[in-house]
Amino acid sequence: MTDLASTASVHPAAPRFRHGTIEAALGAALLLAWLIAAVGAGVFAPYDPNALDLVAMLAPPDGVHWFGTDHLGRDVFSRVIYGARIDIWMGFAGVIAPLVVGVTVGLIAGYFGGLTDTILMRILDITVAFPFFILVIAIVGVLGPGLVNYIIALALVAWVAYARLVRAEVLVVKRLEYVQAARALGFSDFVIILRHVLPNVLGSITIYAWTDAVMVILAGASLGFLGLGAQPPTAEWGVMIADGQPYVLQAWWICLFPGIAMVTLSLGFILVSDGLSRRLRVSS
Amino acid sequence: MSLVSVQGLSVTFPSEKGPVAAVRNVSFDLKPGEILGIVGESGSGKSVTCRALLGLLPRRATIGGRMIYDGRDLSGPAEIQAVRGREISMIFQNPASHLDPLMTIGDHVAEPLRFHFGLSAAEARAEALKLLESVRIRDAASRMDAWPHQLSGGMKQRVLIASALACKPRLLLADEPTTALDVTVQAGILQLLRDLNRESGLTMALVSHDLGVIAEICDRVIVMRGGEVIESGPVRDVVTNPQHEYTRLLIGAQPGRLPQMAEPQEAPAGLVDLKDVAVHFPTRSGGGIVRAVDGVNLSVRKGECFGIVGESGSGKSTVARTIVRLITPTGGRVMFEGKSVADLSGADLTAYRRAVQMVFQSPFDSLNPRMTAQQTIAEPIWRHGLASKSAAMERALELMDMVELPRSFATRRPRALSGGQCQRVGIARALALSPRLLIADEVTSALDVTVQAQILRLLTRLRKEHDLTVIYISHDLTVVRKFCDRVAVFQGGRLVETGATADLFASPSTEYTRDLIAAAPDMDQAMAERA
């Protein structure tokens, strides 16, 4: 039994700092800060985000209005805080919807192969052939402006990246002997896909999803800017930037602060993604 | 005077847990014209030692001690660079990955000549042709412009040797040069190395895990374990009179030294019958077909251990997967207890899945990396509704006892287990459904010999205790000879020969089987032949 004795200590004690831990922690801290701000917006925001104060229109940042006010006299700080609710929700929903569609398609196409694979991949090719953002705008245009329709459009368009990633990984994993073993043990395809294939392809998907969130938030803000995303007077960062755009020379603060908010939230997502990918790379 | 003298070599790698010593205080000498074998199991530091001589270790490695080549101290990168390729060359385990796919065979051999000696393209090409002929590449002139992917594994290794010898080095380091090759090809490469040593007095250090290979061509051997040299001396002395306990263990675990585990019985009823089975695949480019298995007829009897041997591409694994119904045959029938397997469906198919189980080659890849040992073993039991989930987990512990895996390993995932331990989990999982037929596909080929010996003993015990029929698939004839009652020899998708193990080895009826038996490296046989 030498193979038992000599390798009894293969399991390493968890080291204090693994690769990528610092990035991941920093990113998580940023995201957590924004999450707290969003959840506690009612407590942190000094003003109602939609309350007009026509006397204090375009007031620069000072002790009363920390981030100044916009052209309708609304408090920019309060609107940035409330805006976090919309943008964070958008980030998560806009990732999860295409992720679910894409992972399902990728699993089915990769695992079953053959004609199923061919049909699904041709549909994917057709979707990819359209410019991404224009297709999203077209779908939102048909369905009508609004955040929910934006998420639906993403589910219809952005799934392709997930489907490709998952399919490629499934093609590798399904050749591995533990999947063969599961088949030899007589498990159903459903069980094999769900229990033995899916958990082992989730790693790279997770990393991609965190970076994708940034794209979703930025694209959502762009839609808001175009008037196709969140609708005024909703406090959403893209809409706020659009609102402030005519006044950007006199009142820079209307655009700047929601812009900074967007950058820090995106940075949070990117850092988490980076940290996770480093950790995964090291451990595998 | 020795050509190379290694004194107190140590190599340390940094890790998250602190420095890990891969090689500790290793000293040896290489006399001009001798072949030194460095033998050890995985993790023994044999490859690291070899690479240190050529300065091929990653930058993060810390190297201590002295390496002296022909009176020169190889202590710095510049000194090593001066001899690398020119005086000391190296060949590697996997020839395919050490040849640039975008360079022709001729260029591979000509390149070092142009780089080190500044020969013109034409001169180098002429010289390369001579070198390719000297490593016995048939029809070398027409192969000069071939690409690596057009050559077989054995040919690639010959090209690699030719390019290593291009600058007429005095020392050749060979790191497991035949491990990735079939036995008949291996025999040819070993013969070539021996001839090169005799004809031109080339000094060699041959790193191998296989004492059989070492015994065939080496003069002296050093035995390594855990980064240290534990024994060294002339091969004959070490083999016949090992001093260290581990060396004795290693020698005792050689397949040729294993006890006879097979016990042929009087012909009982057949369990599995293959009738004219064929598996054909369309080729990648369309058009043609690949006959992975063609016209195979064989019968496996109840309770016996049936060996299937063959080299890579012989179709032996495809046959196994066809029996388990992972692959549907394109022709012929697989019969289990008189019923055609292809016709089974519903409850009959489920019953068949339970009755026939398989253990796979790769210890790590055959287990789901996200599941613990206990979960892996328990899963088939509750999925087949044979017990509740908690009862299945309990049963899994009993199965762990059965395969001699301590219960404390129950919560470990594959990554925290060794190769042998993973293979025990794989065996326990296969036994979870109480099968009657167990198919073992190269289950020990990725394991060290000492672990292989344990697994074979375990399988023999389980076979007797559970009245199992076993189909044992292997490329290793020596193991099959010890372990199996009857043997079938495959070549190129066809069944060449089948018979009782003792008869087949004593009087093989086909030339291919004779070659295969002659090529199988065996320590004792090699020693006897060299006497």
Query: 3-state class of A243 per DSSP?
Result: helix
B contact set with A (CB within 8 A): 16-17, 249, 321, 324, 326, 349-350, 353-354, 356-358, 360-362, 365-370, 379-380, 383-384, 404-406, 412, 416-421, 426, 429, 433, 448, 450-451, 454
Report whether pLDDT(A197) > 90: yes
pLDDT digits (tens, 9 = 90+) for A149-193: 999 999 999 999 999 999 999 999 988 889 988 988 888 899 999
Most confident by average pLDDT, B260-264, B366-370, B527-531:
B366-370
pLDDT digits (tens, 9 = 90+) for A121-146: 999 999 999 998 899 999 999 999 88
Average pLDDT along chain B: 89
Residues 6 or more apart in contact with residue B169 via CB below 8 angstroms: B85, B86, B87, B88, B89, B202
Mean pLDDT of B491-497: 91
| pLDDT above 70 coverage of chain A, percent | 92
When pLDDT is cut at 50, 70 and 90, the band that residue A282 belongs to is low
Contact B365 A177 (CB under 8 A): yes
Report whether pLDDT(A216) > 60: yes
Mean pLDDT of B269-274: 88
Report whether pLDDT(B269) > 90: no
Report whether pLDDT(A17) > 80: no
Total Cβ atoms within 10 A of residue A149: 19
pLDDT digits (tens, 9 = 90+) for B424-450: 999 999 999 999 999 999 898 888 888
Where does residue A126 rank: exposed (0-12), middle (13-18), buried (19+ CB within 10 A)?
exposed
pLDDT digits (tens, 9 = 90+) for B190-221: 999 999 899 888 999 999 998 989 999 999 99
Closest CA to B521 of B251, B182, B216: B216
B66 φ/ψ angles, rounded to the nearest 5 degrees = -125, 140
pLDDT given for residue B520 in this prediction: 85
Where does residue B99 rank: exposed (0-12), middle (13-18), buried (19+ CB within 10 A)?
buried
Angle at A196 between CA A195 and CA A199, to 5 degrees: 75
Nearest CA in chain A to B427: A181
pLDDT digits (tens, 9 = 90+) for B285-314: 667 788 889 899 999 998 899 999 988 888
Average pLDDT along chain A: 85
User: What domains are defined for chain A?
Assistant: 15-49+62-283 (1.10.3720.10)
Tokens of B95: 């020839």
Mean pLDDT of B82-99: 86
Nearest CA in chain A to B413: A11
pLDDT digits (tens, 9 = 90+) for B364-386: 889 999 999 999 999 999 999 89
Q: Report the distance separating Cα B252 and Cα B236, nearest Å.
A: 15
pLDDT digits (tens, 9 = 90+) for B451-486: 899 999 999 999 888 889 999 999 888 899 989 999
Mean pLDDT of B116-141: 88
Q: Report the distance separating Cα B140 and Cα A35, nearest Å.
A: 70
pLDDT given for residue B43 in this prediction: 83
- The residue type found at B430 is A
pLDDT given for residue B23 in this prediction: 92
B356 φ/ψ angles, rounded to the nearest 5 degrees = -120, 120
Nearest by CB: B404 against A1, A6, A11:
A1
